[in-house]
Amino acid sequence: MTILAKQPALGSQFDEKSVHTVTEEAKGVVLNGEFSLPKEVPHNGFTTPAINSFGHSFRNYDAESERQKGVEEFYRRQHINQTYDFVKKMREHYKKLDEAEMSIWECCELLNKVVDESDPDLDEPQIQHLLQTAEAIRKDYPNEDWLHLTALIHDLGKILLLPEFGELPQWAVVGDTFPVGCAFDEANIHHKYFKGNPDFNHPAYNTKEGVYTKGCGLNNVMMSWGHDDYMYLVAKGNGSTLPSAGLFIIRYHSFYPLHKEGAYAHLMNDEDRENLKWLHVFNKYDLYSKSKVLVDVEKVKPYYQSLIQKYFPAKLKW
């Protein structure tokens, strides 16, 4: 890996130290364990386990009230700080892709440095989460190789937490995502904390459509900044040939208000609605494939290397 640049000047918001108590999956959303799959997408019978590797139900934050408090504090910070201007600044900075040069696989290994201590469903290194998700999908959808690779890389953007990539605070990397530039839908977790966001009272940003128009398509909507959008920018900027649905999954997999609650549907266009069907498929695996059964990395590596070669250049700019 070649590190090309020092960390960016990020402004006053970053004086606050990271809250190391929450992860991407720390949504606090109660799952009903049911996913109705769209008819057009084949359903290959993935069985949803009732409990995670700790014996708790998934995303069960009531089980540990301390963690719950950490999650709430995380969302307080996230909701206050993710403004339209902040996101614009982050996108402009990171789309330059001048942080580093490395291959996809090198990044998978680098992500191992990021351990989410607080994810209630996960205490394994990140590469295991990536491979467990990818292998579970591969088993059920053997012919969709793009989906296997999408699963492998979906969380690579979490490297933003590392010093070499700006060491962004947790609230700027993980957690549920949502559009900025229009009213914060009540389906967002801990919605009340948006009252502390300067955009909450900004007349251009606090109407249902805000700066957007109905049906404009999510591609024209700015999402709160995090690992999803960063990895999308990396994939796009390096000319990945992944299909539209793969890029959509990478970009919106943390957009729980949409894919779990159906909020913000008025901003979607036809292509988004098609891609959303695959995101629903993917999400089930992202959430439920975490387990104590470790994937043998060396054994599956050649397969994933071949997919990386098919859909990405050998070295990427990050």
Q: State the residues that interact with Fe ion by CB under 5 A.
A: 24, 155, 286
Least distance (Å) from Fe ion to the CB of residue 228? 6
Least distance (Å) from Fe ion to the CB of residue 111? 11
Calculate the alpha carbon distances from 21 to 25, 164, 172 in Å: 11, 21, 13
48 CB-near residues (< 8 Å, 6+ apart): 33, 35, 284, 288
Residue closer to Fe ion, measured from CB, 117 or 209 = 117
How far apart are alpha carbons 316 and 304 in whole angstroms? 16
**CA neighbor of 181 nearest in space, from 216, 223, 215:** 223
Angle between helices 145-153 and 297-311 (to 10 degrees): 110
Residue closer to Fe ion, measured from CB, 212 or 232 = 232
On the CB side of 309, CA atoms within 13 Å amount to 6
Residue closer to Fe ion, measured from CB, 205 or 240 = 240
Least distance (Å) from Fe ion to the CB of residue 154? 6
Least distance (Å) from Fe ion to the CB of residue 133? 6
Residue closer to Fe ion, measured from CB, 133 or 197 = 133
How far apart are alpha carbons 9 and 6 in whole angstroms? 9
Residue closer to Fe ion, measured from CB, 79 or 284 = 284
CA distance between the termini of the chain? 10
Residue closer to Fe ion, measured from CB, 212 or 225 = 225
**215 in Cβ contact with 268 (< 8 Å):** yes
**231 in Cβ contact with 250 (< 8 Å):** yes
Tokens matching residue 169: 């605070």
Least distance (Å) from Fe ion to the CB of residue 116? 10
Residue 188 CA, distance from chain mean position = 15
Least distance (Å) from Fe ion to the CB of residue 56? 18
311 CB-near residues (< 8 Å, 6+ apart): 146, 149, 240, 241, 242
Least distance (Å) from Fe ion to the CB of residue 52? 14
